[in-house]
A and B are shown apart, each in its own frame.
Chain A
Amino acid sequence: MARRSHVQTTLNGETVEFLCEPRQSLLEVLRDELHLTGAKEGCNNGNCGACSVILDGRLVNSCLVLGVETEGKSVETIEGVADPDKLHPIQDAFLENAALQCGICTPGFIMSAKALLDENPNPTEHEVRYWLAGNLCRCTGYDKIVRAVLDAAAAK
């Protein structure tokens, strides 16, 4: 077994330290070492977006980032999106629009939508579809997800 490395990073605004093997992805670290299971593994090769997180302001698939690469960086996950007593407008819009069915892809979509609206607060429908094309949903046909993101943009 490879030696575990010590990593210090900022996670949802707070400094955290963890040990991980060099081969462990950020997704594995989040789920197995830090017990934040909101990021999901759907494919483990960057095709489904269920593990989307924001790394130093940039949307990434956490299955394609190594845990050790987050040293000194800032990671934002689904667990950090809502305030303790108030949901984020994107989360509210997903609930109001019934934009989830099974919900396994939902954390990833919300992170992608957040990254989009952080960069482009007033996207067109096409821009939403373009930006979210890296996230697969098999339940909804995307209609209500796209509407939720457009609603969240309008509400901001």
Chain B
Amino acid sequence: MLENKEYKVIGTRPIRHDGVDKVTGRALYGADFQAAGLLHGRVLRSPHAHARIISIDTSRAEALYGVKGVVTAKDLPDAGDKIADLGEGAVNLKHLCDNILASDKVLYKGHAVAAVAATNPHIAEEACTLIDVEYEVLPPVLEVRQAMESDAPLLHEHLKTTSMGETADEPSNVASHIQHKLGDPEKGFAEADIIVERDFVTGTVHQGYIEPHNATAHYNADGQLTIWCSTQGAFTVREQVAEILQYPVSKIKVVPMEIGGGFGGKISVYIKPVAALLAKKTGKPVKVLMNRADVFEGTGPTPASFIRVKMGATKEGKLTAAQAYLAFEAGAYPGSPVGPGAMCIFAPYSIENVIIDGYDVVVNKPKTAPYRAPGAPNAAFGSETVLDEIAEKLDIDPLEIRLLNAAKEGDRRADGPIHPRIGCIETLEAAKAHPHYTAPNGKKHHGRGIASGYWFNIGLESSVTINVNSDGTINLIEGSTDIGGTRASIAMQAAEVLGIPAESVNPSVVDTNSVGYTAVTGGSRTTYATGYAAYEAAQNVKQQMIARAAKLWEVDEANVQFADGEFSSINGKEEQISFRDLCARLGETGGPIVGSGTVNPGGAGGAYATHVVDVTVDEETGKVDILRYTAVQDAGKAIHPSYVEGQIQGGAVQGIGWALNEEYIYNAEGEMTNASFLDYRMPTCLDLPMIDAVIVEVPNPGHPYGVRGVGEVPIVPPMAAIANAIYDAIGVRMTELPMSPDRLLKAMGKI
């Protein structure tokens, strides 16, 4: 299946197709949408972390000059007990609806309660303050271990723990328990010469996309609902809105505007159904925007977690057994990424005896959402720190111990799947060979750390249509919203098939009425799966073009070949025509050519990364500075290396933020006290060195060009790599994230 040849387009670095629009300010993002008669919507949010709603009186708001409509949960259809499957697993529809507008209880500060549409945004904001909500305030539960206690305040009176198919009798905040077991862990630990066990705590962190959520909705008189918004997946918006509003998908059109970052956080809908409700109530198009505090308090962060990791090894460094206990905060409703965390935690290693327990636990914080390799960074912080400690105690180089135990093709992951061809060993070897790893690092309070990470990547459905133009170019129609240069990486795969330059492809991301079903830009799937669909669509074009050349030359199709952008006849007539010249003759040979490709590929192929970091620790202030950073990763095949490097660099820096600064800080009442970019401090360019991204290419047999997803795995290693570097610098093991100055000073015994 793998096309092993020299490529003309793949591996080059063309200018992205949407580049000029984005450097000139002309690209239109969700909030930039305008329409005649547009109203502006704002959402009233709960001031309490946990409370019962006694009553909502909207009359004063409705009476304000300029207010055109107010909605509450009463305007949503009754969800009942329906379970909706929205492509990411089964979801309780009442939970989904209650997270849009709370009906009986508010479960976190920032939980949406009501919304107003008005003639301008300031009036809408003012009207929100005139909505009278009476609450019965309840004690909040804010931490996963507290929430698991039998006497903890309950968020949902009807939620009972499901554990491997069995449902408990008593209500609990623990929504589910999963377990993966491989081999005989007890025997494995008995064979170990050394066992290290540690507890880890990680904080709640946010994706931190710079563009807040936005949505504009309009109902036509015929009931057709159109939603303009930024999203990672127009089709998933359509499905979620259809479920929440109990409205047919055929009557909903979602128009994806440009999107200002997502990282997993722009898959779930929040204000899109609200905009639709307001549009229905007012009969006008309504634009609803979040502000930054709304984004922090009202949209899914990624969970805080408590993790216990135990690993055993022989004195030669061979891992004999591993055990993990993962308790993840789901936020207000079940559905934390503890599952993926459990799938990834020991996946970089070949270990015969493994047991992993995962718990999904509700707490009074916003419902969590995916964030770049969801669950895997939390888990890797534990496992990669424990492995580092084993290596140190056995006096083995930390890269050597990883190489000694590295996962390879044919090994079984603890949750079941057997690894296909993977690049774990090649990635480690590239890190070992990198000059960073052998550079001297002896200064006082300087330290070096490494860590590895794994993410499985996903396939899912994609559709691409290609229209052939008479001048030898093609228009490529796709449904994958472009968050990081995927117009280019998808177009390049079609260009490679047709032997044309990347610049001869005009890619368009279109609405849900204009392209076949396409799953989200997420799961590191876009260049892989939509690129695969583009490859198939281009192959389809090629076949049709071959038929046209055969017709032109009056030869059999089997006697036409296509190479290097030229069609030629073999056997008999010596004929030749370029792709471009044949494009000009489509009319006379049968009419326009439209090619299409749809895929749902299974072979996404897992991605591995190993990061090397040098830090310095200021012993007086506890501040950690990153001095040098090298991120090595298997990309399978880098279609556009610049954007692969960009994914690696961006993921690594999000990990650095998670490691050193970022966390939701809560007071005892459950209020987030740092809901701004000033106080939730993400890395700035002054905090960082250059990030050296090293691409390893172990082609994925599940893709014609060998592509593996690259977007997510780079956020997995940084936290442990930095923790290991801090240990190397000052001899203190950090087990809590973020490793902020106060935590370092505490760990060093200075405060």
Q: What residues of chain A have their CB less than 8 Å away from a CB belonging to chain B?
A: 1, 21, 23, 31, 35-45, 47-48, 50, 77-79, 81-82, 87, 91, 94-98, 100-107, 110, 128-130, 132-147
CB distance from B301 to the nearest CB of A (A): 14
A-B contact pairs, 17 of them (CB 8 A): A23-B122, A39-B25, A40-B29, A43-B292, A47-B678, A48-B677, A95-B23, A101-B650, A103-B27, A103-B260, A104-B209, A107-B23, A129-B688, A132-B684, A136-B684, A139-B650, A140-B653
User: In the complex, A107 Cα to B21 Cα: how many Å?
Assistant: 10
Chain B, interface SS category = loop
Q: For the complex, is B167 an interface residue (Cβ under 8 Å from A)?
A: no
CB distance from B540 to the nearest CB of A (A): 30
Identify the interface centre among B15, B23, B259, B676: most chain A CB within 10 Å of its CB: B23
Judge whether A38 and B26 touch: CB under 8 Å: yes
CB distance from A47 to the nearest CB of B (A): 4
Judge whether B210 and A79 touch: CB under 8 Å: no
User: In the complex, A45 Cα to B261 Cα: how many Å?
Assistant: 19
The range of chain B's interface size is: 35 or more
Contact of A95 among B19, B210, B211 (CB under 8 A): B19
Contact of B691 among A87, A107, A143 (CB under 8 A): A143
| CB contact under 8 A between A110 and B676, given known A37-B28, A104-B261, A129-B685 | no
The interface residues of chain B lying within 8 Å CB-to-CB of A129 are 685-686, 688
| CB contact under 8 A between A42 and B212, given known A35-B34, A47-B678, A133-B684 | yes
Contact of A43 among B26, B485, B676, B684 (CB under 8 A): B676
Judge whether A95 and B646 touch: CB under 8 Å: no
In the complex, which residues 204-225 of chain B have their Cβ closer than 8 Å to any Cβ of chain A? 207-212
Judge whether A87 and B20 touch: CB under 8 Å: yes
Q: For the complex, is B63 an interface residue (Cβ under 8 Å from A)?
A: no
CB distance from A140 to the nearest CB of B (A): 5
Contact of A144 among B24, B66, B483, B642 (CB under 8 A): B642
Judge whether A139 and B646 touch: CB under 8 Å: yes
User: In the complex, A1 Cα to B123 Cα: how many Å?
Assistant: 9
User: In the complex, A35 Cα to B32 Cα: how many Å?
Assistant: 9
Judge whether A146 and B690 touch: CB under 8 Å: yes
The interface residues of chain B lying within 8 Å CB-to-CB of A96 are 15
User: In the complex, A44 Cα to B291 Cα: how many Å?
Assistant: 8
CB distance from B613 to the nearest CB of A (A): 13
Q: For the complex, is B340 an interface residue (Cβ under 8 Å from A)?
A: no
The interface residues of chain A lying within 8 Å CB-to-CB of B678 are 45, 47
Judge whether B211 and A104 touch: CB under 8 Å: yes
CB distance from B645 to the nearest CB of A (A): 8
The interface residues of chain A lying within 8 Å CB-to-CB of B654 are 138, 141
User: In the complex, A39 Cα to B31 Cα: how many Å?
Assistant: 11
The interface residues of chain A lying within 8 Å CB-to-CB of B66 are 1
Q: For the complex, is B532 an interface residue (Cβ under 8 Å from A)?
A: no
The interface residues of chain A lying within 8 Å CB-to-CB of B260 are 40, 42, 102-105
Judge whether B653 and A142 touch: CB under 8 Å: yes
The interface residues of chain A lying within 8 Å CB-to-CB of B208 are 138
In the complex, which residues 62-99 of chain B have their Cβ closer than 8 Å to any Cβ of chain A? 65-66
CB-CB nearest in chain A for B687: A133
Q: For the complex, is B455 an interface residue (Cβ under 8 Å from A)?
A: no
Judge whether B677 and A43 touch: CB under 8 Å: yes
Contacts A48-B677, A101-B646 supplied; 13 other A-B pairs, CB < 8 Å = A37-B32, A47-B676, A98-B640, A98-B643, A101-B650, A102-B260, A102-B261, A104-B261, A107-B23, A129-B686, A133-B685, A135-B685, A138-B208
Contact of A103 among B22, B652, B684 (CB under 8 A): B22
The interface residues of chain A lying within 8 Å CB-to-CB of B485 are 98, 101
Judge whether B646 and A140 touch: CB under 8 Å: yes
User: In the complex, A107 Cα to B210 Cα: how many Å?
Assistant: 12
Judge whether B210 and A48 touch: CB under 8 Å: yes
The interface residues of chain B lying within 8 Å CB-to-CB of A82 are 23-24
CB distance from A97 to the nearest CB of B (A): 8
The interface residues of chain A lying within 8 Å CB-to-CB of B25 are 36-39, 77-79, 107
Contact of B686 among A91, A130, A138, A147 (CB under 8 A): A130
Judge whether B483 and A132 touch: CB under 8 Å: no
In the complex, which residues 688-707 of chain B have their Cβ closer than 8 Å to any Cβ of chain A? 688, 690-691, 693
The interface residues of chain A lying within 8 Å CB-to-CB of B603 are none
Judge whether A91 and B259 touch: CB under 8 Å: no
User: In the complex, A99 Cα to B564 Cα: how many Å?
Assistant: 31
Q: For the complex, is B445 an interface residue (Cβ under 8 Å from A)?
A: no
| CB contact under 8 A between A137 and B649, given known A79-B25, A106-B23, A129-B686 | no
The interface residues of chain B lying within 8 Å CB-to-CB of A134 are 684
Contact of B483 among A102, A106, A136, A143 (CB under 8 A): A102
Report, nearest first, the 8 A-B pairs whose CB atoms are least far apart.
A38-B25, A104-B260, A141-B653, A103-B22, A78-B25, A98-B642, A141-B649, A47-B677
CB-CB nearest in chain B for A98: B642
The interface residues of chain B lying within 8 Å CB-to-CB of A95 are 15-16, 19-20, 23
Judge whether A45 and B209 touch: CB under 8 Å: no
CB distance from B509 to the nearest CB of A (A): 13
CB distance from B719 to the nearest CB of A (A): 15
Judge whether A139 and B484 touch: CB under 8 Å: yes
CB-CB nearest in chain B for A94: B23
Q: For the complex, is B270 an interface residue (Cβ under 8 Å from A)?
A: no
Contact of B211 among A42, A87, A143 (CB under 8 A): A42
Judge whether A98 and B646 touch: CB under 8 Å: yes
Identify the interface centre among B258, B260, B649, B678: most chain A CB within 10 Å of its CB: B260
Judge whether A100 and B23 touch: CB under 8 Å: yes
The interface residues of chain A lying within 8 Å CB-to-CB of B649 are 140-144
Judge whether A44 and B292 touch: CB under 8 Å: yes
Judge whether B686 and A40 touch: CB under 8 Å: no
The interface residues of chain B lying within 8 Å CB-to-CB of A47 are 292, 676-678
Judge whether B210 and A138 touch: CB under 8 Å: yes
Q: For the complex, is B535 an interface residue (Cβ under 8 Å from A)?
A: no
User: In the complex, A36 Cα to B491 Cα: how many Å?
Assistant: 30
CB distance from B629 to the nearest CB of A (A): 9
Q: For the complex, is B585 an interface residue (Cβ under 8 Å from A)?
A: no
CB distance from B412 to the nearest CB of A (A): 34
Q: For the complex, is B682 an interface residue (Cβ under 8 Å from A)?
A: yes
Identify the interface centre among B13, B643, B685: most chain A CB within 10 Å of its CB: B685
The interface residues of chain B lying within 8 Å CB-to-CB of A140 are 646, 649-650, 653
The interface residues of chain A lying within 8 Å CB-to-CB of B210 are 40, 42, 48, 50, 102, 104-105, 136-138
In the complex, which residues 246-263 of chain B have their Cβ closer than 8 Å to any Cβ of chain A? 258-263
CB distance from A105 to the nearest CB of B (A): 5
User: In the complex, A42 Cα to B640 Cα: how many Å?
Assistant: 28
CB distance from B626 to the nearest CB of A (A): 11
Judge whether A138 and B209 touch: CB under 8 Å: yes
CB-CB nearest in chain B for A82: B24
The interface residues of chain B lying within 8 Å CB-to-CB of A128 are 685
The interface residues of chain A lying within 8 Å CB-to-CB of B263 are 138
User: In the complex, A142 Cα to B210 Cα: how many Å?
Assistant: 14
Contact of A87 among B24, B262, B291, B686 (CB under 8 A): B24
